[in-house]
């Protein structure tokens, strides 16, 4: 309900604005971007390496077989019920 009130307030102010900069500053003053952010501690910035390790774990743990069996059974059940 709070977002709707904020949007209604912005809509009511829009005709009174003279340029786009005022609209942006008004929106930012009512947006959740004004709230404080939580700091993050990034331990490993190697995103592609993380993706590769996750994919390798996906293969080695056998989850790929569970995915393929699930897709096959889902396709068969869909074919039977359609």
- 6-34 pLDDT, tens digit per residue, is 666 666 665 655 555 566 666 666 655 55
Q: In degrees, to the nearest 5, what angle opens at C-alpha 50 toward C-alphas 45 and 63? A: 160
Nearest to 23 by CA among 34, 11, 8: 11
Which tens digit of pLDDT belongs to each residue from 30-77? 655 555 666 777 788 888 999 999 999 999 999 999 999 999 999 999
Q: How many whole angstroms separate alpha carbon 1 and alpha carbon 6?
A: 9
CB pairs under 8 A, 24+ apart, for 54-61?
A: none
Name the CA radius of gyration of the chain, rounded.
25
pLDDT at res. 29:
64
């Amino acid at each position: 309900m709070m977002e709707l009130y904020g949007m209604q307030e912005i809509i009511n102010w829009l005709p009174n604005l003279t340029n786009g900069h005022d609209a942006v500053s008004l929106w930012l003053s009512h947006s959740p971007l004004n709230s404080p952010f939580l700091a993050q501690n990034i331990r490993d910035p190697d995103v592609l390496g993380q993706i590769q390790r996750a994919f390798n774990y996906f293969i080695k743990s056998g989850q790929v077989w569970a995915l393929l069996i699930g897709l096959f059974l889902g396709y068969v059940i869909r074919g039977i019920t359609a």
